[in-house]
Amino acid sequence: MQKQAEKRVEVRPAGEEDLSAALALIEEECRRNQWLEAIPELLTGAIRGTAGNTWACVAIGDIACVGLGIYGIVAWTVGTGVVQAVVTTDARSDAVGLAIIGHMLDLLQRQGARLVAA
């Protein structure tokens, strides 16, 4: 059953059309994890291109956003990437989290990252 869940999750770069669903996911998770309070602003900046070398991706399940990731290249470095956040719903969180991390690492490597900090 876990394998079927993994196949139905698509991880892709986040766009403006994903912002409201991703913010709703963060809002729900903030009830359990207060450390997420700064993530909405970072996510919005990553999606709108106002956060420097920071990007966001979303994991889309059958019909909804089930996770997101925020990542980038550390300023004033050569080849250092950073994973700033991975947020998933409780359902399928292991598979979704791994898919998001894999997506971010792949894109960071394409951007020249040789080292990634989390």
CA distances from 98 to 3, 10, 39, 93, 102 (A): 13, 12, 19, 8, 6
Give the pLDDT confidence score for residue 51 in this predicted structure: 86
pLDDT in tens, 60-106: 988 889 999 999 999 898 899 999 999 988 655 788 999 999 999 99
List the domain boundaries for the chain.
2-117
Give the pLDDT confidence score for residue 7 in this predicted structure: 53
* The domain made up of 2-117 is a member of CATH 3.40.630.30: yes
Q: How many CA atoms lie within 13 A of 113 on its CB side?
A: 23
Confidence of residue 2 (pLDDT cuts 50, 70, 90): very low
pLDDT in tens, 26-72: 988 888 887 888 899 999 999 999 988 999 999 998 888 999 999 99
Give the pLDDT confidence score for residue 43 in this predicted structure: 95
Backbone φ and ψ for 8, nearest 5 degrees, come out as: -85, 0
